[in-house]
Amino acid sequence: MPLVTAHKAFPHFFNVLKNNPVLLTPRAEDVFRQGVPRWISRPYRFTGTGSVVSGARFSVKGLMPRLYGSTELATLAAEAYYKSQRAGWTPAQFQPQLTIHMRWELQAVVDLMQAATLNALGVTTNDIVTCDWEKEQTAWLEPVTQAIARAAFENLAEGLVVPSARRTGGLNMVYYPSHRRDGTVIHTLDEAAIPFMPGL
């Protein structure tokens, strides 16, 4: 198996976040998550295992467990629709999905919606939303979005605030459960109504 070639700007991203701790800021949002019911079930909800297996726009395959949440249902729907198109699902392949509403109060996130953060990193919103991370990952190259995410992860950020690549103006939250800090609140609304589903 070949090694991934690190993005050339990774050292810069890492040093910017290391030397500017003010770029790691608190953020509280209500978020929506969606998935196959067994993976939304409480025992499996916060493992982030799926991202380790497959990688994602803001997580490096085989390295970084992460969870995504969208702050609006319209953004969640746009992200889910794109995921199904990317996977080439036919109508027969669609599985029941469970949507849950959560409150995330994180202590130290890198906010890629802020101009000051983007300027410090030397990237633009367009760089983020147009990055073809899947193509680059397949070619064993580290995409710019994953390089930013890895720099944040290695500086012990709890997550990121990011623009949606699928809905203009949409906002997503990325959470790294391995980096949860004291005082962070992760609360699922209406927990009693979410069924337990075995993971097998």
Q: What is the DSSP string of 81-104?
A: HHHHHHHT--GGG----EEEEEEE
145/126 Cα distance (integer angstroms): 11
Which residue(s) pair with 67 in the sheet? 175
Give the DSSP letter of residue 199: -
DSSP-derived 3-state class of residue 31: strand
pLDDT at 87: 61
DSSP-derived 3-state class of residue 35: strand
pLDDT at 150: 97
pLDDT at 89: 67
pLDDT at 38: 84
The Cβ of residue 175 has, within 10 Å, a number of other Cβ atoms equal to 25
2 token code pair: 């070949």
pTM assigned to the model: 0.91
Contacts of 135 (CB under 8 A, 6+ apart): none
Which residue(s) pair with 111 in the sheet? 161
Contacts of 83 (CB under 8 A, 6+ apart): none
96/87 Cα distance (integer angstroms): 16
Q: What is the pLDDT along the chain (200 residues), one digit of tens a residue?
A: 578 999 999 999 999 999 999 999 999 999 999 888 888 888 888 888 878 888 889 999 889 999 999 999 999 989 877 666 666 666 666 677 889 999 999 999 999 999 999 999 999 999 999 999 999 999 999 999 999 999 999 999 999 999 999 899 999 999 999 999 999 999 999 899 888 888 77
Question: What radius of gyration do the chain's Cα atoms show?
Answer: 17
